[in-house]
Amino acid sequence: MHQSPADAKLEAIRWDRPRLSILDQLLLPHASEYVDIATSADGHRAIVSMQTRGAPAIAIVAALSLAAEISRRDFGSAQQAHDFIVDRLDYLATSRPTAVNLFDAVAKLKAVAASALASQSPAATGASVALAYVDAAEQMLAADVRDNRAIGSHGARYIAARALAQGAGAFKLLTHCNTGALATAGHGTALGIIRSLHQGAHMPAAAAASAAGEAVLDHVYFGETRPYNQGARLTAYELLCEGIPSTLVCDSAVSALLRSDPSIVGVVVGADRVAANGDTANKIGTYQLAIAARFHGREFIVAAPSTSVDLGLASGEGIVIEERDPAEITRAEGFVREALEDGRMVRQTLCVAPEGTRAWNPSFDVTPAELISAIVTEKGVFVKTPGATTYDLAKCLGENN
Ligand SMILES: CSC[C@H]1O[C@H](OP(=O)(O)O)[C@H](O)[C@@H]1O
């Protein structure tokens, strides 16, 4: 699956049936360690703790954790296999509430198990139901990489065209959180568009060498994304691995940055759940980025696979926003290089606020569709009809099926 040393370093999910391991993202960038996931309970724990995170990655790790578990079990009957799968999927669905990808995968995998159970010729067995599940979970892993590369290509062409229309030969982008290979099965969504732009995916081969007459991504700014620091720890790691020129900024600096640098043509972010009208839940801080982009007349682009779209939700009003432990704000987990003979990096909890400080720690916020210039999916780039303040994603996705 790797195409380069960078890919090898950035592989968030490793699956070699029946073995699943994940890159422990609580340790990045200071240590690159893989953790074995043998059961759905291991998968649930890894998702809740955010050892693995990112809307698509959460769904795939959940699916494959159960695939790993049932690959090592014998079921007395097809019904037993089906019932075990349904029970474990319901448990995995309790891990984190906001990213719809998890619930989309759970529904699809339950349907696979039910269909395998109903098989008459040949008659279903415990092994046949389990195999059908594992095959479907593996297909989700492969499909996510395909989707992300399509998002990268659609988004790169769209942004380059918008930059060129504004007379920008070399342009910059601003992004938030981590939406790259570490948040998905590979390549990434918003960061996947940045990767594709950097690789010249939007240019005809001939032009790619000279970039003559083409818009070229010159630099990427990214926010630290407190309190988990997906930007400062993970996006920085990915951009350095890929050799993409970039600059980290504090979340509090993004408005001043947009005001100071007109070559930033837009903001591109991921999504955890996009409602049918285009309202989008994403990492906390996204909403204020959208406000800043609108005030400064810049594009605000959401990149997400269709598995992040919740057509059952009319608007963002109904999106459940995960609230995490306030201690993630008041007590930063830091790494200290111990003065030991081996100079190990060890995790220490550093109190960054006085004991007793209260904190509000929503993990996501909702950006209204009105502030979103375009939604890039693997099926294409969707923009609002002139004068509209919302999208009709059921129509958009239906037309692009
Ligand atoms: C392509 S990842 C989408 C989304 O997931 C991240 O949240 P978390 O790190 O808490 O799992 C962030 O909101 C990304 O934009």
CA 2 to ligand 1 center in whole angstroms: 23
Q: What is the maximum span of the chain, computed from C-alpha positions, in angstroms?
A: 67
Task: Write down the pLDDT at residue 352.
Answer: 81
Task: Write down the pLDDT at residue 202.
Answer: 75
Task: Write down the pLDDT at residue 212.
Answer: 62
Q: Concatenate the DSSP letters of all residues of 282-345 into one string.
A: EETTHHHHHHHHHHTT-EEEEE--GGGEETT-SSGGGPPPPB--THHHHEEEEEEE--STT--E
Q: What is the percentage of the chain residues whose pLDDT exceeds 90?
A: 85
Closest residue by Cα to residue 173 from 183, 186, 184, 158: 158
Pocket flag, ligand 1, residue 184 (CB < 6 Å): yes
Q: What is the mean pLDDT of residues 45-71?
A: 98
Segment 256-272, tens digit of pLDDT: 999 999 999 999 999 99
Atom number in ligand 1 closest to CA 99: 5
β-strands 299-303, 374-377: how paired? Answer: parallel
Closest residue by Cα to residue 60 from 5, 20, 91, 88: 20
Q: What is the mean pLDDT of residues 315-341?
A: 85
Task: Write down the pLDDT at residue 204.
Answer: 67
Segment 352-382, tens digit of pLDDT: 888 899 999 999 999 999 999 999 999 999 9
Q: Of the residues 178, 189, 320, 372, which should be mutated to test ligand 1's pocket, given the most ligand atoms within 8 Å of the CB?
A: 178
ipTM over 0.85: yes
Query: pLDDT-derived band of residue 3, with 50, 70 and 90 as boundaries?
Result: very low
Query: pLDDT-derived band of residue 2, with 50, 70 and 90 as boundaries?
Result: very low
Segment 295-326, tens digit of pLDDT: 999 999 999 999 999 999 999 999 999 999 99
CA–CA distance, 217 with 200 (Å, rounded to integer): 9
Question: Does position 199 have pLDDT exceeding 60, yes or no?
Answer: yes
CA 238 to ligand 1 center in whole angstroms: 15
Task: Write down the pLDDT at residue 1.
Answer: 39
Higher-scoring residue by pLDDT: 52, 210: 52
β-bridge mates for residue 172, sequence order: 219, 264
β-bridge mates for residue 267, sequence order: 174, 300
Question: Does position 11 have pLDDT exceeding 60, yes or no?
Answer: yes
Query: pLDDT-derived band of residue 152, with 50, 70 and 90 as boundaries?
Result: very high
